[in-house]
Structure 1
């Protein structure tokens, strides 16, 4: 592992966190290295547009080149590319917003967001990240991942985003078991008060979980007894169709349908 590259990545991670603007002294303290070393790394990152320095405060923040890298990642992500049409169809079928997410370490990144099909102001959430345990997308992915991954994630105390976020490992394990049983995962006001989610896993040609697709909306609408079942069916069917398009195999080794 190249230490200078690792340190440069750490700088970018620190600037991505709760303090989006940091000075040389701050970064040196956080990384545990000299200010001269941090300064040299920042100059290199700045020359390629990965960080920029505020003229007034002298502190650094993330640079515009990262947007290019991020867009390139999304544009070349097979799940996102394949999911665009299916997400729009699911949004039209349910009348709700649809997210497609992938697991990145212990978080879920939204790689595609299909707006709710009505003329209201909606914020684009593509690129947003959430703790896996506080989202239906994350629970759907983890529930169908390896037991080793599940145990690792359950062994680390998850972040609580609201007073309703489930953080007890036993309760989360029970939710994962339930998701495997019914084929989809639920989330109720765990990430944002008032919102809920229903998501199902998407598999790739190797049989591994590629990500998840789910509907997001107000809890009183999404988890209404009558609507929840129809939304869950629509979400599972869409996930299966998307899995087929990714080349997923059935349990008997043949190509989908499942």
Structure 2
């Protein structure tokens, strides 16, 4: 019988998968280590993080320096990401549309959590729903595109109010028709949202409806959207350490990292 190697060689290319260049993949581990740690490293430390001996890592670094992917500090000799790597990173960030990135994730969350999940961004009148993924179960909360969420009474609104500049929030509060002030109740909700990394509301605007909202940040640490789970208050888990809140926060953190956030 032919051995496994000969069988693999005879297998169609589509079954074996696309061929790569192993040396590029090996050297790429050094770039991944630098990007992951986010600071210049000595040769021995960088090689250790990449899982290779320093003698093996050094030739790769020499080539990366020539390309501008890596640069070496003159004084310390440590290696960090070079100008080309930084330029590529900026171009990548410019190509990322936060809403486009988040859309398939809210679809997944709606299926996994069995609740309606929405994306809200800051619009001219405040937090505005721009994407909605309905719950798969027949019992769900209807949410329309273009709905402006209350800053005081909704999870999305409280989340934006917690993270956006105070002057911007005060202006939006005034446009809602209520007092343009941070009263004690609202301030308590905002402090809690920042401390827990998630905002909540129960029966805030519509009786029988509850919600949780997690933030997504860009590379400058600015909140660009909220991911909000909405459902009937009966059976809706609002605990910050509950499964639903953790799933929302995890998705928000993953999207934020894709957008360059390093918080």
Could you say which TM-score interval applies, normalised by the shorter chain?
0.5 to 0.7
Match of 2:154 among 121, 130, 135: 135
Does 2:160 align with 1:146? no
User: Could you tell me how far apart the structure 1 residues matched to 2:118 and 2:142 are?
Assistant: 12
User: Could you tell me how far apart the structure 1 residues matched to 2:133 and 2:140 are?
Assistant: 13
The answer to whether the Cα contact below 8 Å between 1:106 and 1:132 also exists between their aligned partners in 2 is: no
User: Where does residue 243 of structure 1 map in the other structure?
Assistant: 256
Match of 2:104 among 68, 74, 85: 85
Does 2:209 align with 1:185? no
User: Where does residue 31 of structure 1 map in the other structure?
Assistant: none
Larger gyration radius, structure 1 or structure 2 = 2
Alpha carbons of structure 1 residues 228 and 105: separation in structure 2 relative to 1, 3 Å:
farther
Please give the per-residue CA displacement for 1:127-146, whole angstroms capped at 9, x wherever unaligned. 22222222111111221222
Q: How many residues get paired?
A: 167
Alpha carbons of structure 1 residues 97 and 145: separation in structure 2 relative to 1, 3 Å:
same
What SS does the corresponding residue of 1:248 show, helix, strand or coil? Answer: coil
> Which residues in structure 2 correspond to 1:68-83 (within 5 Å)?
78-83=97-102
Alpha carbons of structure 1 residues 159 and 135: separation in structure 2 relative to 1, 3 Å:
farther
Note the C-alpha offset of 1:89. 1.8
Please give the per-residue CA displacement for 1:24-70, whole angstroms capped at 9, x wherever unaligned. xxxxxxxxxxxxxxxxxxxxxxxxxxxxxxxxxxxxxxxxxxxxxxx
- TM-score for the superposition, normalised by structure 1: 0.57
- TM-score for the superposition, normalised by structure 2: 0.56
User: Could you tell me how far apart the structure 1 residues matched to 2:167 and 2:201 are?
Assistant: 23
C-alpha RMSD of the superposition: 2.9
Alpha carbons of structure 1 residues 244 and 119: separation in structure 2 relative to 1, 3 Å:
same
User: Where does residue 19 of structure 2 map in the other structure?
Assistant: none
Match of 2:114 among 90, 95, 111: 95
User: Could you tell me how far apart the structure 2 residues matched to 1:99 and 1:224 are?
Assistant: 16
- Structure 1: tracts of 5 or more residues without a match: 1-75, 161-166, 251-258
The answer to whether the Cα contact below 8 Å between 1:106 and 1:153 also exists between their aligned partners in 2 is: no
User: Where does residue 200 of structure 1 map in the other structure?
Assistant: 214
What SS does the corresponding residue of 1:239 show, helix, strand or coil? Answer: helix
